[in-house]
């Protein structure tokens, strides 16, 4: 559509079609004032008459104004009388911009009651008029316009400078009009819509809001950005379309988003988020009511190509993380390309191309007109192409070099946003002190908790040096998070003078982190470093960490710590004096812990953390326990007969007990002369009573009836047994420490065959796959499959270290997973032992077996414990393993984790702590302390947990959700 007089023609047509419709709604002191299109048309003509009395000369009109009710009239009048206008923020240095741009006329709009001078540029206005409660001052200039703007109807926008030097971009009408036409159709904008006029005028998306209303006869709403005002109980003036940056949207409280903005009865038809990456899909999913009808879109574009280039509608049911948000489909007359690099063919620079949407850079002084006219744009952004879809992957300057690794700050930010309760986040890199700082805002989450989360989710090279919680992240005038302001904030805090108390706090927290102990300053102040358990290595390690943020402090105290001549308090006094003599200012109040390398926790959030821990979302109740006489290292086995549930387990005392699982009443006991560490194998066949079979240290294998504990048979195979048996075709398969598997007739206890597997012992449980193959792994690293029809080794492979963990099957027994002690995990096919994938991300030895759960088509979650005190969760998607999270426990984890419900995982560390872990993010929700160590793996039935302990007891616990 061609408009000879620019936006004036658009405005004129709409006023003619919709004279009585409300053009602008203004919320003022709890009252809505309505202005119709016919009223505003009169205002437009009045302004244009005054403009025509001044000399426009097809130059540029500067408009100094905040958002107000006459803005649509002013820009229409500007285009009627002139060709180009530019919005100026009253708070910026308008005189400098005016001189650069050589404005022909400057219009300054202020409130009638505002106590401001009418002088501008050291001159009085040439004309002043009053409209409604606004005063409009006109300033005429005699500049011979030298700005190389094209004399056609357009507006000039200034880039925010968030991604480079600010530029003045001339945007002709025909460049932005395709946006308006496309978005009108896509968003189904009609005359009934109420568009929230929320974007600062100097930010070009404000033109989208103005023109969407003016093109369609809809209303612009001017009101404070408060949810209860934008979405009042009376729906007459409630917003239906809202365009804003994600940062500004996520500054609203969870309560406002859930109960107002995205509630079930919200009037909001369209939520359009653009101007910066959307980090917060998880929060949107959590807060959007199930019955809410709001359509959520992301918009991508650059000012250099007149606002938006791509749009994507989000299906929150399908998008799980921020990394899965596509850039979407290109808008009319726009193309997007990803210019890949040699390192990664799928990733590269995002290039925008258009033959018609041609803007002009006005303040680019080099190059010819073609170079200054933007037909194609290197956006400075990075994209990844997957299956034909482009995903945003940050900016080129978001890629930094740290510890020799390339780090993407956008990746860290999107990971932070996966953490529950985080509202907004931003990462900055300070190259001079080489610090990676993560800022986040949250209503409830502490820096410590976020740090724990990131340690599970990210490799150590991505861990921030510092995590700082703020109420709200600072934004620039355009509503985007400002990394420049964040950098200045951090520099200011770095320059805060240190006090003696803050040095003590800094030292104490870092000391507790490296020592893994909790003590007060009073407990250590009169001792030297070695007297409290310090070593040379710990001193160096601690001072290296302190030097990251307090260079003088860390270097200064190291020799004093090593000398053993000074007490801790002496060292603090010396350090304080030395720092102040040199007038070196260091960072104030660093608070760290073992799991938080640099996480900042203020006292308020520390109190909040402690308070929160008193009301755990899950709690444990001990139902009963039974004393077996000696340690219970074996894992309990559950079996059900009729309506009765039983649990059976062996002990180092040689007792094998059977308990009523619910009541804790002893059903019976079988005794052998040696300790039992293997789990009982439970077997039930129609022509045979339910029986249990278990092996002992002295080679005894005993079979007994489960309900009565009547012994059926007992033999000795002459070799130690620590492995759980299995059964196929009436043959019991049981492995021992001589590296052999015996095949025993389960009915009578006679050995039928002996199968040689390896030279060293078998500790792992045997696993039956497809009712045909028995899988095993050995202490010599041999993994093997026994074909039960021939009782021969179908295949055998050798790993590089011993395997204590039991084989685990997944995908309908197609694949088997072996975890070896050195931390490597291997997947092979069950039938032929063909290697499928390998995972090498564990940082310690693995003795735990894996818990496997299918989470989606061709996607599994595998959870295991490790000697490094962590529980790992890895995802297997399309046969590719990747780390999901790591949960930090308080001692090594040898027992096998298990699922408690669809969302919870239970893990036990060696020191007897049972931990309930959120399956999705690895956050520990609750803990229960058993009286002694445990190496037993828990067995779970519904909300009942059964586990053995080294205080000789078998425990039955119940977990209760306390949400």
**pLDDT tens digits along 404-446:** 677 889 889 888 988 877 888 899 888 776 788 899 988 778 8
Q: Sort 600 into a burial class: Cβ within 10 Å, 0-12 / 13-18 / 19+.
A: buried
Which residues make Cβ contacts (< 8 Å) with residue 316, sequence separation at least 6? 281, 284, 285, 288, 296
> Taking Cα atoms as reference points, which of 726, 731, 740, 696 lies closest to residue 714?
696
The answer to whether residue 658 scores a pLDDT higher than 90 is yes
pLDDT winner (highest mean) among 275-284, 581-590, 693-702? 693-702
User: Rounded to 5 degrees, what are φ and ψ at 546?
Assistant: -60, -35
Helix axes 37-52, 71-81, angle to 10 degrees: 40
What is the number of other CB atoms lying within 10 angstroms of the CB of residue 505?
17
Cα–Cα distance list, 192 to 219, 267, 287, 594, 891 (Å): 8, 12, 27, 58, 63
pLDDT at 32: 93
Binning pLDDT at 50, 70 and 90, where does residue 893 land? very high
Among 84-93, 495-504, 629-638, the range scoring the smallest mean pLDDT is 495-504
The answer to whether residue 612 scores a pLDDT higher than 70 is no
pLDDT at 113: 73
DSSP conformation letters of 698-763: TSEEEEEETTT--EEEEEE-SS---S--EEETTEEEEE-TTSEEEEEETTTTEEEEEEE--SS---
Helix axes 205-216, 71-81, angle to 10 degrees: 90
Beta strands at 870-877 and 904-908: parallel, antiparallel or unpaired: unpaired
Confirm if 725 and 733 have CB atoms less than 8 A apart.
yes
pLDDT per position as a tens digit, 233-254 = 899 999 999 999 888 898 888 8
> Taking Cα atoms as reference points, which of 368, 336, 329, 369 lies closest to residue 353?
336
Terminal CA-to-CA distance of the chain, rounded, Å?
Answer: 58
Binning pLDDT at 50, 70 and 90, where does residue 494 land? low
- Tokens standing for 734? 């049981």
Cα–Cα distance list, 913 to 451, 929, 932 (Å): 21, 5, 9
Distance between CA atoms of residues 265 and 283, nearest Å: 19
pLDDT per position as a tens digit, 540-558 = 767 766 765 566 777 788 8
Confirm if 357 and 331 have CB atoms less than 8 A apart.
no
Distance between CA atoms of residues 836 and 817, nearest Å: 10
pLDDT at 662: 86
Binning pLDDT at 50, 70 and 90, where does residue 614 land? very low
pLDDT top residue among 246 and 535: 246
The answer to whether residue 169 scores a pLDDT higher than 50 is yes
The answer to whether residue 745 scores a pLDDT higher than 90 is yes
- Tokens standing for 79? 């285009």
pLDDT top residue among 93 and 163: 93
**Count helices and strands in the chain by DSSP H and E runs:** 20, 59
Distance between CA atoms of residues 870 and 263, nearest Å: 39
- DSSP letter (8 states) at residue 257: I
DSSP conformation letters of 466-483: EEEEESS--B-TTSSB-H
Binning pLDDT at 50, 70 and 90, where does residue 356 land? confident
User: Rounded to 5 degrees, what are φ and ψ at 81?
Assistant: -100, -15
Binning pLDDT at 50, 70 and 90, where does residue 586 land? very low
> Taking Cα atoms as reference points, which of 867, 870, 868, 865 lies closest to residue 937?
865
Among 155-169, 209-223, 696-710, 802-816, the range scoring the smallest mean pLDDT is 155-169
pLDDT per position as a tens digit, 290-335 = 999 999 999 998 887 778 999 999 999 888 888 889 999 999 888 8
The answer to whether residue 590 scores a pLDDT higher than 60 is no
pLDDT at 142: 65
> With b meaning 16 or more CB within 10 Å and e meaning fewer, what string describes 123-150?
eebeeeeebeebbbbbbbbeeebebebb
pLDDT at 735: 95
> With b meaning 16 or more CB within 10 Å and e meaning fewer, what string describes 735-758?
bbbbbbbbbbebeebeeeeebebb
Cα–Cα distance list, 53 to 47, 75, 153, 633, 738 (Å): 10, 17, 20, 96, 106
pLDDT top residue among 1 and 647: 647
Q: Sort 627 into a burial class: Cβ within 10 Å, 0-12 / 13-18 / 19+.
A: middle
> Taking Cα atoms as reference points, which of 307, 324, 305, 302 lies closest to residue 315?
324
> Taking Cα atoms as reference points, which of 72, 17, 8, 63 lies closest to residue 40?
72
* Average pLDDT of the residues in 562-567: 80
Place of tokens 């409300």: 22
pLDDT at 363: 66
Place of tokens 């740290």: 402
pLDDT top residue among 944 and 147: 944
> Taking Cα atoms as reference points, which of 106, 87, 101 lies closest to residue 202?
87
pLDDT at 544: 67
The sign of the dihedral angle between the CA atoms of 475, 481, 484, 490 is: positive
Looking at the whole model, is its pTM more than 0.85? no
- pLDDT above 90 covers a percentage of the chain that reads 44
Distance between CA atoms of residues 646 and 62, nearest Å: 83
What is the number of other CB atoms lying within 10 angstroms of the CB of residue 872?
29
* Average pLDDT of the residues in 737-754: 93
* Average pLDDT of the residues in 173-187: 91
Helix axes 447-457, 409-416, angle to 10 degrees: 120
> Taking Cα atoms as reference points, which of 275, 4, 295, 3 lies closest to residue 159?
275
* Average pLDDT of the residues in 349-358: 85
Strands, E, within 840-877: which ranges? 851-856, 859-865, 870-877
Confirm if 81 and 56 have CB atoms less than 8 A apart.
yes
> With b meaning 16 or more CB within 10 Å and e meaning fewer, what string describes 327-355?
bbebbebbebebeeeeeeeebbbbbbbbe
720: left (phi over 0), alpha (psi -120 to 50) or beta: beta
User: Rounded to 5 degrees, what are φ and ψ at 611?
Assistant: -65, -40
What is the number of other CB atoms lying within 10 angstroms of the CB of residue 698?
16
pLDDT at 617: 67
- pLDDT above 70 covers a percentage of the chain that reads 89
Distance between CA atoms of residues 226 and 728, nearest Å: 68
Which residues make Cβ contacts (< 8 Å) with residue 537, sequence separation at least 6? none
Distance between CA atoms of residues 832 and 828, nearest Å: 8
Radius of gyration, CA atoms only, the chain:
35
Q: What is the mean pLDDT of the chain?
A: 85
Among 80-89, 504-513, 587-596, 650-659, the range scoring the smallest mean pLDDT is 587-596
pLDDT at 607: 27
pLDDT at 551: 61
Distance between CA atoms of residues 660 and 677, nearest Å: 21
pLDDT at 380: 82
CA 516 to centroid of chain Cα atoms: 27
């Amino acid at each position: 559509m061609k408009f000879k007089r620019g936006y004036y023609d658009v405005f004129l047509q709409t006023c003619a079609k919709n004279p009585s419709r409300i053009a602008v709604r203004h919320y003022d002191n709890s009252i809505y004032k309505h202005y119709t299109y016919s009223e505003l048309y009169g205002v437009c003509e009045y302004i244009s008459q005054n403009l025509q009395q001044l000399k426009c000369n097809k130059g540029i009109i500067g408009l100094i104004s905040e958002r107000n009710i006459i803005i649509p009239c002013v820009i229409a009048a500007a285009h009627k009388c002139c060709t180009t206008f530019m919005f100026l923020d009253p708070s910026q240095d308008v005189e400098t911009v005016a001189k650069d741009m050589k404005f022909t006329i400057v219009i300054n709009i202020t409130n009638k009651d505002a106590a401001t001078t009418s002088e501008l540029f050291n001159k009085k206005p040439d004309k002043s008029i009053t409209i409604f409660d606004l005063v409009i001052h006109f300033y005429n200039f005699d500049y011979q316009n030298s700005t190389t703007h094209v004399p056609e109807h357009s507006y000039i926008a200034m880039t925010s400078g968030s991604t480079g030097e600010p530029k003045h971009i001339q945007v002709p009408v025909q460049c932005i009009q395709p946006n308006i036409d496309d978005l009108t159709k896509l968003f189904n904008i009609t005359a009934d819509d109420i568009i929230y006029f929320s974007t600062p005028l100097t930010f070009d998306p404000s033109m989208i809001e103005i023109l969407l209303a003016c093109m369609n006869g809809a209303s612009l709403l001017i009101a404070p950005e408060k949810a209860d005002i934008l979405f009042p109980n009376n729906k007459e003036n409630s917003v239906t379309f809202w365009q804003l940056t994600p940062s500004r949207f996520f500054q609203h409280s969870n309560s406002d988003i859930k109960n107002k903005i995205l509630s079930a009865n919200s009037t909001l038809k369209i939520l359009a988020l653009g101007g910066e990456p959307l980090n917060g899909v998880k929060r949107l999913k959590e807060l959007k009511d199930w019955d809410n009808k709001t359509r959520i879109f992301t918009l991508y574009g650059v000012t250099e190509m007149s606002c938006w280039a791509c749009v994507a509608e989000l299906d929150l049911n399908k998008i799980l993380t921020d990394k899965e948000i596509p850039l979407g489909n290109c808008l009319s007359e726009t193309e997007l390309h990803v210019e890949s690099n040699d390192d990664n063919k799928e990733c590269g620079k995002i290039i925008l191309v258009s033959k018609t949407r041609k803007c002009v850079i006005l303040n680019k002084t080099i190059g010819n007109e073609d170079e200054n006219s933007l037909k194609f744009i290197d956006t400075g952004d990075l994209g990844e192409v997957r299956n034909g879809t482009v995903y945003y992957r940050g900016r080129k300057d978001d890629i930094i070099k740290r510890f020799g690794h390339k780090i993407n700050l956008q990746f860290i930010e999107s990971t932070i946003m996966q953490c529950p309760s985080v509202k907004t986040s931003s990462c900055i890199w300070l190259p001079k002190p080489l610090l990676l700082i993560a800022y986040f805002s949250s209503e409830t989450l502490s820096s410590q908790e976020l740090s724990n989360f990131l340690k599970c989710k990210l490799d150590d090279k991505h861990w921030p040096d510092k995590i700082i919680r703020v109420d709200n992240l600072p934004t620039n005038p355009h509503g985007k998070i400002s990394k420049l302001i964040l950098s200045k904030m951090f520099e200011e805090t770095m320059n805060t003078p240190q006090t003696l108390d803050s040095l003590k706090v800094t030292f104490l927290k870092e000391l507790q982190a490296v020592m893994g102990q909790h003590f007060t300053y009073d407990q250590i102040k009169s001792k030297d470093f070695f007297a409290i358990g310090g070593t040379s290595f710990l001193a160096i390690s601690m001072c290296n960490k302190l030097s990251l943020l307090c260079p003088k402090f860390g270097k200064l105290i190291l020799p004093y710590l090593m000398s053993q001549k000074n007490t801790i308090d002496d060292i603090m006094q010396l350090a304080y004096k030395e720092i102040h003599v040199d007038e070196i200012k260091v960072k104030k109040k660093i608070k760290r812990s073992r799991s938080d390398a640099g996480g900042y926790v203020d006292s308020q959030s520390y109190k909040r953390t402690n308070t929160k821990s008193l009301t755990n979302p899950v709690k444990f109740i001990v139902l009963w326990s039974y004393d077996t006489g000696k340690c219970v290292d074996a894992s309990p086995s559950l079996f059900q007969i009729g309506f009765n549930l039983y649990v059976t387990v062996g002990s180092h005392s040689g007792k094998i007990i059977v308990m009523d699982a619910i009541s804790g009443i002893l059903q019976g006991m079988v005794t052998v002369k040696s300790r039992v560490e293997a789990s009982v194998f439970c077997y039930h066949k129609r022509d045979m009573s339910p029986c249990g079979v278990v092996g002992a240290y002295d080679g005894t294998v005993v079979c007994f009836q489960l309900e009565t504990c009547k012994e059926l048979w007992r033999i000795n195979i002459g070799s130690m047994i620590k492995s759980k048996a299995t059964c196929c075709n009436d043959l019991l398969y049981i492995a021992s420490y001589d590296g052999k598997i015996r095949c025993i007739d389960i009915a009578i206890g006679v050995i039928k065959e002996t199968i040689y597997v390896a030279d060293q012992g078998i500790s792992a449980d045997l696993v039956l796959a497809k009712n045909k193959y028995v899988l095993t792994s050995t202490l010599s690293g041999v993994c093997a499959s026994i074909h039960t029809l021939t009782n021969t080794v179908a295949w055998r492979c050798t790993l590089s270290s011993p395997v204590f963990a039991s084989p685990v099957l997944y995908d309908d027994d197609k694949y088997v997973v072996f975890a070896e002690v050195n931390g490597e995990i291997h997947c092979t096919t069950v039938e032929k032992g063909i290697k499928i994938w390998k995972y090498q991300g564990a940082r310690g030895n693995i003795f735990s077996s894996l818990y496997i759960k299918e989470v989606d088509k061709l996607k599994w979650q595998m959870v295991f414990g490790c000697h490094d005190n962590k529980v790992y969760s890895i995802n297997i998607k399309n046969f590719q393993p990747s780390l999901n999270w790591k949960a930090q426990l308080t001692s090594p984890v040898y027992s096998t984790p298990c699922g408690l419900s669809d969302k919870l995982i239970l893990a036990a560390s060696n020191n007897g702590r049972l931990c309930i872990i959120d399956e999705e993010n690895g956050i520990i929700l609750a803990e229960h302390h058993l009286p002694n160590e445990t190496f037993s793996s828990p067995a779970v039935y519904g909300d009942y947990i059964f586990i053995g302990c080294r205080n000789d007891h078998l425990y039955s616990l119940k977990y209760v959700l306390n949400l």
